[in-house]
A and B are shown apart, each in its own frame.
Chain A
Amino acid sequence: MKIAILSGKGGTGKTFVAVNLAAALGKSTYVDCDVEEPNGKLFFKPEIIEKKKVTIYLPAFDKEKCVGCRECVDFCRFNALVFIKGTPIVFPEICHPCGGCKIVCKYDAVSEEKKEVGEVLVGKSGETHFLSGIMNIGEASGVPVIKELLGSIPDNRNTVIDCPPGSGCMVMESIKDVDYCILVAEPTEFGRHNLEMVHQLVTVFEKPLGIVLNKCTEEENPSKDFCLENKIDIVAEIPFDKDLGRDNSNGEIVYYSNDKAKRIFNVLSGIVEKKVCQ
Chain B
Amino acid sequence: MKIIIPVNEDKGTVCVSFGRTPLFLMVDLETKEREFIVNPAADAAGGAGTKAAQLIVDKKADAVLTPRCGQNAAIVLDAAEIKIYKTTSEDVEKEIEKFNQGKLEILSEIHEGFHNHGFSK
Pairwise interchain contact B79-A91, C-beta atoms closer than 8 A: no
- Taking the closest CB of chain A, its distance from the CB of B6, in whole angstroms, is 17
A94 contacts partner chain B, Cβ-Cβ < 8 Å:
yes
Of chain A, the residue at the smallest CB distance from B51 is A79
Q: Which residues of chain A (67-94) have a CB below 8 Å from chain B?
A: 73, 76-85, 88-94
Pairwise interchain contact B120-A82, C-beta atoms closer than 8 A: no
Q: What residues of chain A lie closer than 8 Å to B48, measured between beta carbons?
A: 79
A59 contacts partner chain B, Cβ-Cβ < 8 Å:
yes
Number of A interface residues in the complex (CB < 8 A):
23
Q: How far is the CA of A58 from the CA of B48 in the complex (A)?
A: 20
Q: How far is the CA of A249 from the CA of B57 in the complex (A)?
A: 54
- Taking the closest CB of chain A, its distance from the CB of B50, in whole angstroms, is 5
Of chain B, the residue at the smallest CB distance from A90 is B120
Pairwise interchain contact B118-A91, C-beta atoms closer than 8 A: yes
Pairwise interchain contact B76-A84, C-beta atoms closer than 8 A: yes
Pairwise interchain contact B54-A82, C-beta atoms closer than 8 A: yes
A60 contacts partner chain B, Cβ-Cβ < 8 Å:
yes
Q: How far is the CA of A90 from the CA of B53 in the complex (A)?
A: 14
Pairwise interchain contact B57-A84, C-beta atoms closer than 8 A: yes
Q: What residues of chain A lie closer than 8 Å to B120, measured between beta carbons?
A: 58-61, 88-90, 113
Pairwise interchain contact A83-B50, C-beta atoms closer than 8 A: no
Pairwise interchain contact A85-B50, C-beta atoms closer than 8 A: no
Over the window 48-72 of chain A, the binary record of Cβ atoms lying under 8 Å from chain B Cβ atoms (1 yes, 0 no) is 0000000000111100000000000
Of chain B, the residue at the smallest CB distance from A61 is B120
Q: Using A59-B120, A89-B119, A92-B118 as known contacts, say yes or no to A79 and B44 having CB atoms under 8 A apart.
A: yes
Q: What residues of chain A lie closer than 8 Å to B121, measured between beta carbons?
A: 60, 113
Q: How far is the CA of A85 from the CA of B116 in the complex (A)?
A: 16
Pairwise interchain contact B44-A85, C-beta atoms closer than 8 A: no
Pairwise interchain contact A82-B50, C-beta atoms closer than 8 A: yes
- Taking the closest CB of chain A, its distance from the CB of B62, in whole angstroms, is 15
Q: Using A79-B44, A82-B76, A84-B57 as known contacts, say yes or no to A90 and B51 having CB atoms under 8 A apart.
A: no
Q: What residues of chain A lie closer than 8 Å to B57, measured between beta carbons?
A: 82-84
Q: Which of B44, B45, B50, B80 contacts A91 (CB 8 A)?
A: B50
Q: What residues of chain A lie closer than 8 Å to B80, measured between beta carbons?
A: 84-85
B47 contacts partner chain A, Cβ-Cβ < 8 Å:
yes
Over the window 142-176 of chain A, the binary record of Cβ atoms lying under 8 Å from chain B Cβ atoms (1 yes, 0 no) is 00000000000000000000000000000000000
B72 contacts partner chain A, Cβ-Cβ < 8 Å:
yes
B102 contacts partner chain A, Cβ-Cβ < 8 Å:
no
- Taking the closest CB of chain A, its distance from the CB of B42, in whole angstroms, is 12
Q: Which of B72, B79, B119 contacts A94 (CB 8 A)?
A: B72
Over the window 58-76 of chain B, the binary record of Cβ atoms lying under 8 Å from chain A Cβ atoms (1 yes, 0 no) is 0000000000000010011
Q: What residues of chain B lie closer than 8 Å to A77, measured between beta carbons?
A: 45
Pairwise interchain contact B76-A94, C-beta atoms closer than 8 A: no
Q: Using A60-B121, A85-B79 as known contacts, say yes or no to A94 and B47 having CB atoms under 8 A apart.
A: yes
- Taking the closest CB of chain B, its distance from the CB of A91, in whole angstroms, is 4
B7 contacts partner chain A, Cβ-Cβ < 8 Å:
no
Q: Which of B41, B47, B79 contacts A80 (CB 8 A)?
A: B47
Write 19 A-B pairs (CB below 8 A) sorted by A numbering.
A59-B120, A60-B120, A61-B120, A76-B47, A78-B45, A79-B50, A79-B54, A81-B50, A82-B79, A84-B76, A85-B80, A89-B118, A90-B119, A90-B120, A91-B72, A91-B75, A93-B118, A94-B50, A94-B72
Instruction: State the A residues within 8 Å of B (CB).
Output: 58-61, 73, 76-85, 88-94, 113
